[in-house]
Structure 1
Amino acid sequence: MISTDVLRELFLFEKLDEGQLEWLAAHGEERDFDAGELILRQGDPAACFFVLIDGEIVMITETPSGPVAMSPTAQRGVYAGATSAYLGDRAPETYGHSLRATKPSRLFVLPAKKYGMMVGEWFPMAVHLLDGVRLGGLAQRELIDRRQRLTALGTITAGLTHELNNPAASAVRAVGELRDKIRTARRQLAALAEDGISAGQLRALIDLQEGCTDKTAALPSRSPLEISDAEDELGDALEEAGVADGWELAPPLVAAGFTATGMEKVREAVGEEHLSGATHWLAAAIEINQMLNEVTDATERISSLLASAKQYSQMDRAPYQTVDVRELLDSTLTMFRGKIPPGISLATDYDPELPPIPGYAGELNQVWTNLIHNALDAMEGTGILTVRTRLEHDTTALIEICDTGPGVPEQLRERIFEPFFTTKAVGEGTGLGLDISFRIVAGRHGGDLRMESAPGDTRFQVRLPLTEIPAP
């Protein structure tokens, strides 16, 4: 029989009288467990209620995407097992989690029926209160979780559609202009044919146009003033050569690297009699190529955004894999691009030496989403958002999400990871973002999530191991 003095030292039983302690000692027992030994298994019949006397234990819950382990605890008096046995017939029939000793441990074990009878007889009002709190808490958490997921989905969707709109609109505009330019170029070719341009002259003109197109990508960058001067010079040269509307033709020709001296090449290729018509066709053909480049750039941008969205959502990926943290961060930032206010600038500082790490990529993206969202809210439209990665001690990946907001008040820093605690106004925050993030980092990845805060410099630091955590 366990001593009543030992039970009295546990916070769970410290307010019980001597008779109640003796009853517990008579109906329960003390058991020892070695380090690594399984104390109870999820899914087994919920037969006992366990209380830690000394040692260290860890709670593990199996989920469809793998086991979730809580942080190990050595606090005397913590309990697990058939904790809902006081509900009687409505109590779960099996354990909802597993419990393992991480160090040699000693636990007080009470049969579930005795535990349920004890709570019901000794604390009848508490049974009703606990049942109400349990049902209300479950309903509230389910509702808030659902709404938070919908809110996060709406935020990401709005950002993605905003980003997709720009290249899509650019492509539509370019295609519309392409129709007019192609129609004009056909008529100009027909006019040149009517004027008697030879096949050799036409071939030389086409070669000249293709040469300008091929050189466009290699052209050195020029200032707006230099471009304006070049257009003025070419416009004057075209007017002097008798080419009508030379000032309108100059901008696309200059953009392709065409200069005033290039007029001689056109004259040599087609002759003086076809110079005007050939120059108009050349400008139209160059504009067509420029618009095709715009369409290509726009569609590549759309493809890049969709790839980022796929990377963010981790579609068609194994839940647990080796991932590049920088790719995950970039995909999350891409989703946020349209939601970052104009007054907030983004800075990234990635360590090139940081290797890929094992982890649940989709869940890590949820962590980055929560931390970045909080940082943007804290800055209220003005500041610098910094995303940084570092390699620590060759064993840990450090990811920092930093903002230049006012910081977290000293008296609130110990509570920010509590479920349902939020510093935001009523209706603006659920208080679950940091709690969920901590559970993902610590429980799913064996890492750590901390915060350092001062006015103008708040940092949420995520530390993740570089090696795979062995399954419990």
Structure 2
Amino acid sequence: MIQLEELRAHPLFAELSEALLQWLREQLTEVSFAAGEVLAGEGEKRADFHIVLQGEVAATKLSRGQHIPTARYIAPSFFGAVSLLSGAPAPSTLSAVTDGRLALLPERAFRELLVGSEAFCQLIFHSSFDRLANLEATLRNREKLAALGTLAAGLAHELNNPAAALVRTSDYAVAALARLRAADVDLRNSAIPVEALKILEGLGNRREIANVVSGIDALKQNQAVDALCEWLVAQGVAKPWLQAPCLIGSGILQEELGPLAVVLTKEQFSAAINWLASTLELDALMDDIRVGSLRISEIIRAMKSYSRMDQAPLQEVDIHDGIEDTLIIMQHRLKQGITVQRDYDRSLPQLTVYGSELNQVWTNLIDNAIDATSGRGDIIVRTYREMDEAVVEVTDNGTGIADDVMPHLFEPFFTTKPPGQGMGLSLEISYQTVVNRHRGALLVSSRPGRTTFQVRLPLVVKAGQT
């Protein structure tokens, strides 16, 4: 049996009377533990208050497949009060760091001691409040870092595609430029007549696919390439299969090349075709480089705007810009099977808000909508004005939210996702941002096939400082 002197030396019981100490000793059960032993699992119902007499215990919470350290209890210490007071499952897993000893106090006796000792009661409630505050702060930071990591991974993927394409296309462009230089030398040495050269230069200035081949299917385009190859062979052009696809892709057919074949010798016509194909190929490659560069620039601009990293936290913004930036940043998730419909009221005035925090709200709501549709469905983002408020709605056609879940949606740590896939903070953070920071409202309505989260922001926003 645990000695009275050991209980008296524990800070938790320092102010208990001798009678209460004697009663307490009779209620306690002593257990030993070994390093590495799991003492209690996350999500379990606990029936005892745990007092650490010797050794050390670590608390961890499962988040996105990783066990995140949240607290350490080194003797003399205690844990388990929050679960007993709230009746909720344990918020963390407890594992022994070293060998040691525990004293277990049954829930009934724990509640009697709360009533019987004011000092014990105050100490328990103060420590429980501090621990919950620290746990929430730790997990909030972890959730933000995890969200940032997810966004970074998505951005890396989105940037990698155009960047890799730029590298490949640049290599092709270098080779195409070398071919064009050689073709240009052959063309100048062939002494082509001025009138024929003007026709050739006109064809080389093509920047878009001509209406002759625009919109036709791949089979018909391949047939056109084959037909042009046969005709070029007849005109004495070497390796026409290298030039024909580029010519057809720019809408240049036999009908436009025929007049050149009539006035030029076979050597001149061959030099002309080589120069024309090389010119069109290089133009097409440069256009691909421009498209890839614009895509990278768009992603970087969206990320910079999304984070508002070079602006004051409180600023005038067009909420549509923030929503669009969010959709660009989340493109890696949306393109798997999500269709986004936009219904914007562009007449809404700019709002003075915390831009980056509000962007996190759009991220959370859209992310939840994607999860609700299992990554394959429709999302409608709508904005409109109602009286003196700007309203943003995110609607999905997922399975809906169960009636018993609705009252708990904005509670911290409440989640319907499997353990380790969510900490139940995204909607709570969104609620705090909209309601407390911006003096707005965050509402939800749901039925199977249609769930809508509605953000209402005052048009004259007096953002909070909390």
Q: What TM-score, normalized to structure 2?
A: 0.69
C-alpha change, 1:199 and 1:320, in structure 2 (3 Å) is farther
Q: Distance in 1 between matches of 2:163 and 2:263?
A: 39
3-state SS, counterpart of residue 407 of structure 2? coil
Matched, 1:137 2:132: yes
Offset at residue 206 of structure 1 (A): 6.1
Q: Distance in 2 between matches of 1:268 and 1:207?
A: 17
Partner of residue 287, structure 1: 281
> Is contact 1:201–1:270 with CA below 8 Å preserved after alignment?
no
Offset at residue 334 of structure 1 (A): 1.0
Partner of residue 444, structure 2: 451
Q: Distance in 1 between matches of 2:464 and 2:215?
A: 59
Offset at residue 163 of structure 1 (A): 0.9
Size of the aligned set, in residue pairs, is: 351
Partner of residue 98, structure 1: none
Matched, 1:151 2:146: yes
Matches within 5 A, 1:218-297: 221-224=214-217, 225=219, 227-267=221-261, 271-297=265-291
Q: Distance in 2 between matches of 1:347 and 1:269?
A: 56
Offset at residue 217 of structure 1 (A): 8.6
Offset at residue 406 of structure 1 (A): 1.7
Q: CA RMSD in A?
A: 2.8
> Is contact 1:351–1:389 with CA below 8 Å preserved after alignment?
yes
C-alpha change, 1:191 and 1:210, in structure 2 (3 Å) is closer
Offset at residue 307 of structure 1 (A): 0.3
Offset at residue 297 of structure 1 (A): 0.5
Offset at residue 359 of structure 1 (A): 1.3
Select between 231-240 and 353-362 the one with higher mean Cα deviation.
231-240
Q: What TM-score, normalized to structure 1?
A: 0.68
Q: Which whole-Å deviations, capped at 9, do the CAs of 1:224-245 have from their partners, x for residues lacking one?
A: 2553454344334323322233
Q: Which whole-Å deviations, capped at 9, do the CAs of 1:235-259 have from their partners, x for residues lacking one?
A: 3432332223334322211222212
Partner of residue 405, structure 1: 398
3-state SS, counterpart of residue 421 of structure 2? coil
Q: Which whole-Å deviations, capped at 9, do the CAs of 1:420-460 have from their partners, x for residues lacking one?
A: 22222222222221111111111121211001011111111
Offset at residue 199 of structure 1 (A): 8.6
Q: Distance in 2 between matches of 1:414 and 1:311?
A: 34
> Is contact 2:235–2:266 with CA below 8 Å preserved after alignment?
no
Select between 157-166 and 332-341 the one with higher mean Cα deviation.
332-341
Offset at residue 193 of structure 1 (A): 4.4
Select between 336-345 and 196-205 the one with higher mean Cα deviation.
196-205
Q: Distance in 2 between matches of 1:188 and 1:232?
A: 23
> Is contact 1:320–1:359 with CA below 8 Å preserved after alignment?
yes
C-alpha change, 1:331 and 1:466, in structure 2 (3 Å) is same
> Is contact 2:333–2:375 with CA below 8 Å preserved after alignment?
no
Offset at residue 121 of structure 1 (A): 11
C-alpha change, 1:218 and 1:138, in structure 2 (3 Å) is farther
Partner of residue 301, structure 2: 307
3-state SS, counterpart of residue 401 of structure 1? strand
Q: Which whole-Å deviations, capped at 9, do the CAs of 1:204-233 have from their partners, x for residues lacking one?
A: 3662344324x5599884222553454344
Q: Distance in 2 between matches of 1:439 and 1:247?
A: 64
Partner of residue 83, structure 2: none
3-state SS, counterpart of residue 398 of structure 2? coil
Partner of residue 167, structure 1: 162
Partner of residue 191, structure 2: 197
Matched, 1:358 2:352: yes
Deviant stretches of 4+, over 6 Å:
119-122, 217-220
Q: Distance in 1 between matches of 2:206 and 2:148?
A: 47
Q: Which whole-Å deviations, capped at 9, do the CAs of 1:350-383 have from their partners, x for residues lacking one?
A: 2233332221111100111111222222222332
C-alpha change, 1:341 and 1:208, in structure 2 (3 Å) is closer
Match of residue 324, structure 1, among 318, 325, 330: 318
Amino acid in structure 2 at the alignment position of 1:457: R
Select between 175-184 and 265-274 the one with higher mean Cα deviation.
265-274
Partner of residue 427, structure 2: 434
Q: Distance in 2 between matches of 1:426 and 1:469?
A: 38
Offset at residue 461 of structure 1 (A): 0.5
Partner of residue 79, structure 2: none
Q: Distance in 2 between matches of 1:229 and 1:332?
A: 44
Q: Distance in 2 between matches of 1:375 and 1:191?
A: 61
C-alpha change, 1:296 and 1:219, in structure 2 (3 Å) is farther
Partner of residue 39, structure 2: none
Match of residue 180, structure 1, among 175, 180, 199: 175
Offset at residue 401 of structure 1 (A): 1.4
Q: Distance in 1 between matches of 2:262 and 2:311?
A: 60
> Is contact 1:209–1:285 with CA below 8 Å preserved after alignment?
no
Q: Distance in 2 between matches of 1:442 and 1:220?
A: 56
Structure 1 gap ranges (5+): 1-118
Q: Distance in 2 between matches of 1:218 and 1:267?
A: 23
Offset at residue 281 of structure 1 (A): 1.7
Q: Distance in 2 between matches of 1:125 and 1:315?
A: 48
> Is contact 1:266–1:279 with CA below 8 Å preserved after alignment?
no
> Is contact 1:120–1:127 with CA below 8 Å preserved after alignment?
no
Q: Distance in 2 between matches of 1:308 and 1:218?
A: 35
Partner of residue 384, structure 2: 390
Match of residue 459, structure 2, among 459, 463, 466: 466
Match of residue 340, structure 2, among 346, 365, 368: 346
Q: Which whole-Å deviations, capped at 9, do the CAs of 1:304-331 have from their partners, x for residues lacking one?
A: 1100001111121222222111110111
Partner of residue 63, structure 1: none
| Aligned sequence identity (%) | 35
Amino acid in structure 1 at the alignment position of 2:360: Q
Structure 2 gap ranges (5+): 1-113
